[in-house]
Amino acid sequence: MIQLYHVTMRYPSGIEALREVNLRLHEGEFVFVAGRSGAGKTTLMKLMGAELTPTSGQILVAGRNLGVLKRSQVPYFRRGLGAVWQDFRLLPDRTVTENVAMPLEVLGLSRRKIALRVGQVLELVGMEQYADAQALWLSGGEQQRVAIARALVNEPSIILADEPTGNLDPDLSYEIIQMLRDVQSRGTTVVIATHDTALLELFNERVVLLNKGFVIEDEGGEPAVLAPEPEVTP
Ligand SMILES: Nc1ncnc2c1ncn2[C@@H]1O[C@H](COP(=O)(O)OP(=O)(O)O)[C@@H](O)[C@H]1O
Ligand SMILES: [Mg+2]
């Protein structure tokens, strides 16, 4: 579960990227965060990933109160999240397998366990036949599938995808979102930020619409519940 209570994010420049945002996402839910460029989508994703600290308000992610998360706890917290970006962020000179294995290597798992798990997720995204290919030579759609495999390899409870289809043409965009739908159907919470309204129409899913930092619509969501200060330990 992800919850935001009265979250405001003001950058040092004075710009208020989010204003009094209240939001509740259930475990295993699939949600689009929509809005024009500049609406605050990326800021919201970064707050949920503990990459930014809000100016005011409270954020709970998977039972953790991010406001009291110590800096030293952030890497551990992030292991429970998988991130997917618009520009894929693969290491171009490494193979598909090496890219996907990376989050597991920092955990110090055995070679055999890593190979097994990497094989599983590559199969899941239909990229097993590219296991030894260098990431540099893959098409955009293929790179994003590998990036999704990398995001999944840790078995995160939440996937945060910021404009994952921003560099892809419409057919591939559909395919990538469908793939993330499949991920969600196996129990993972999936949050996708997109400015692509055509995509929203293709998928009949909950849409949290941002405009100038405000949530102006939350179709399919419960009304934002303003809970009392939650007592959650980090
Ligand atoms: N690091 C930053 N410093 C100052 N202003 C920022 C920063 N990042 C984003 N902004 C501003 O915050 C607003 C929301 O940006 P962003 O969250 O990136 O929106 P979106 O992802 O919807 O395009 C914009 O006005 C943007 O210029
Ligand atoms: Mg953005």
Tell me, what DSSP letter sits at residue 168? S
Pocket test for ligand 1, best of 43, 165, 191 (most atoms within 8 A of CB): 43
Pairing relationship of beta strands 189-194 and 158-162 according to DSSP bridges? parallel
How does DSSP assign 30-84, residue by residue?
A: EEEEE-STTSSHHHHHHHHTTSS--SEEEEEETTEEGGG--GGGHHHHHHTEEEE
Is 38 near ligand 1, meaning CB less than 6 Å away? Answer: yes
Per domain, the residue ranges of the chain are 29-53+69-206
Is 42 near ligand 1, meaning CB less than 6 Å away? Answer: yes
Strand order of the sheet with strand 2-10?
A: 16-25, 2-10, 56-61, 64-65
Is 47 near ligand 1, meaning CB less than 6 Å away? Answer: no
- pLDDT by residue for the chain (234 residues), tens only, comes to 899 999 999 999 999 999 999 999 999 999 999 999 999 999 999 999 999 999 999 999 988 999 999 999 999 999 999 999 999 999 999 999 999 999 999 888 999 999 999 999 999 999 999 999 999 999 999 999 999 999 999 999 999 999 999 999 999 999 999 999 999 999 999 999 999 999 999 999 999 999 999 999 997 666 555 444 554 555
pTM: 0.93
Using an 8 Å Cβ cutoff, are 152 and 158 in contact?
no
- Yes or no: domain 29-53+69-206 corresponds to CATH 1.10.238.10: no
Using an 8 Å Cβ cutoff, are 56 and 8 in contact?
yes
